[in-house]
């Protein structure tokens, strides 16, 4: 049976952490059983290419776990590797039981596999470094908010985009705008991922449009591919995904509207009304903030809402109602 990958990675990590001098690839190959078993000791030059590929992948995996692996060039041109203790050590951190409980709650909220794994891995590292068990872990009644937060990230584009944001790598993907029949290829320098109301958005620099753009992850079709090279546009200090999305969602008022609303109906409209006046005939008159998408929302209330002004909003609502009435 082939030696498990975890055992191979663990041995490579311990070798690199344990050594005081850089170890060459040949030394590592001949001293880790999993490599010897698969590729021989390398004395006769066999399997070199497949060993090299596995070795590079293994090093990358360990780096993902946080290991700082240095590549040192020797006098004779041979390359050696080591993970210095001082650059790999966690600085001292002391967390009390309350703080440990808070982090324990936070670590549970990812539903995305990679981040869920990373969160428990981080807790384990902190635990190994002395973080106490939280009182809640002992199933004793803890004086904490009875809250279970969850962050969904079902979109296939989430993980590649998170890595691209992290590593500042340009990406290419097909994107279907909300009202478009067909997706279009977009070349983007990804800046930040933001989750708002349970949906994920990406903000970045759109290379073809030469402008900042916000993308909704659920509208990305197909694979996200990385591109070589660096960002060409400067990354702003403050990125405003949420403000942009709020404008889309019509939460930024651009004026006010006057409507008539049947008594007892339309609670959300009343909740945001600037003024409410009872008309006494089974109807109230409301002044509400007007913004993008208000027409579509008002139509939802059917015959319980009548738009008075502005005229443009009134016309939009009538047009929508006509389309529905026609069927």
Partner 1 sequence: MATNAIDQTRRMLSLVTYLRERPGARVSDVARAFGITEDELIADLDILPMCGTSFRGGDLLDIDTDGDRIWWHNPDDVAAPLRLAADEATALLVAARAVATLPGLREGDRQALLRATAKLEAAAGEAAGASSRVSVTFESEGGVFADVDRAIAERRRLWLRYYSPARDELTEREVDPIRLFAVGHTYVEAWCRLSEARRTFRLDRVAEIRLLDAPADPPPVELRDLSEGLVQPAAEDPEVCIEVGPGGRWVAEYYPHDSADELPDGGLRITLRTPDPASLRRLGLRLGRDGRITAPRELADSARRAATEALAAYGE
Contacts (CB under 8 A) with partner 1, residues 181-200 = 181-182, 191-199
Q: Which two tokens stand for residue 118?
A: 């990373």
Contacts (CB under 8 A) with partner 1, residues 115-154 = 115-125, 127-130, 133, 137, 143-152
CA distances from 83 to 54, 80, 128, 256 (A): 18, 11, 19, 63
Given 271, 280, 281, 282, the residue binding partner 1 (CB under 8 A) = 271
Contacts (CB under 8 A) with partner 1, residues 151-180 = 151-152, 162, 165-166, 176, 178-180
Contacts (CB under 8 A) with partner 1, residues 272-291 = none
Q: How far is CA 131 from the centre of its chain?
A: 27
Q: Which candidate, 267, 326, 257, places its Cα nearest to that of 290? A: 257
Contacts (CB under 8 A) with partner 1, residues 66-95 = 66-68, 85, 87-95
Nearer to partner 1, 102 or 253 (CB): 102
DSSP state letters, 256-316: EEEEEEETT--HHHHHT-SEEEE-SSSEEEEEEEE-TTHHHHHHTTGGGEEEEE-HHHHHH
Neighbours of 324 (CB within 10 A): 9
Contacts (CB under 8 A) with partner 1, residues 221-240 = none
Contacts with partner 1: how many residues (CB under 8 A)?
126
Count of residues for the chain?
327
Contacts (CB under 8 A) with partner 1, residues 245-264 = 264
Least separation in angstroms between CB 172 and partner 1 = 19
CA distance 55 to 176: 39
Nearer to partner 1, 44 or 89 (CB): 89
Q: Which stretch binds partner 1 (CB under 8 A): 43-51, 57-65, 225-233, 251-259?
A: 57-65
Nearer to partner 1, 9 or 288 (CB): 9
């Amino acid at each position: 049976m082939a030696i498990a990958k975890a055992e191979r990675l663990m041995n490579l990590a311990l070798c690199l952490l344990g050594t005081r001098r850089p170890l060459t690839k040949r030394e590592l190959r001949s001293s880790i059983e999993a490599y010897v078993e698969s590729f021989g000791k390398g004395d006769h030059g066999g399997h070199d290419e497949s060993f090299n590929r596995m070795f590079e992948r293994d090093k990358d995996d360990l780096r993902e776990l946080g290991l700082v692996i240095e590549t040192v060039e020797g006098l004779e041109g041979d390359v050696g590797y080591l993970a210095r203790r001082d650059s790999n050590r966690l600085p001292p951190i002391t967390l009390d039981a309350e703080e440990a409980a808070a982090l324990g709650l936070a670590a549970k909220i990812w539903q995305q596999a990679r981040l869920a794994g990373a969160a428990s891995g981080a807790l384990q590292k902190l635990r190994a470094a002395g973080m106490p068990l939280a009182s809640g872990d002992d199933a004793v009644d803890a004086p904490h908010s009875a809250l279970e937060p969850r962050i969904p990230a079902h979109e296939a584009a989430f993980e590649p985009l998170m890595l691209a944001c992290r590593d500042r790598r340009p990406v290419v993907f097909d994107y279907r705008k909300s009202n478009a029949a067909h997706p279009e290829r977009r070349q983007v320098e990804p800046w930040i991922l933001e989750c708002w109301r349970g949906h994920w958005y990406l903000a970045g620099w759109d290379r073809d449009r030469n402008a900042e753009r916000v993308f909704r992850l659920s509208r990305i079709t197909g694979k996200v591919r990385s591109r070589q090279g660096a960002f060409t546009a400067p990354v702003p200090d403050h990125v405003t995904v949420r403000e942009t999305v709020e404008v889309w969602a019509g939460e930024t008022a651009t004026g006010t509207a006057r409507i008539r609303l049947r008594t007892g109906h339309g609670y959300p409209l009343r909740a945001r009304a600037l003024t409410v006046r009872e008309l006494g005939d089974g109807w109230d008159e409301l002044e509400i903030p007007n913004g993008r998408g208000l027409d579509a929302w008002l139509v939802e209330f059917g015959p319980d809402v009548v738009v008075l002004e502005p005229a443009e909003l009134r016309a939009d609502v009538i047009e929508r109602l006509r389309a529905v009435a026609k069927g």
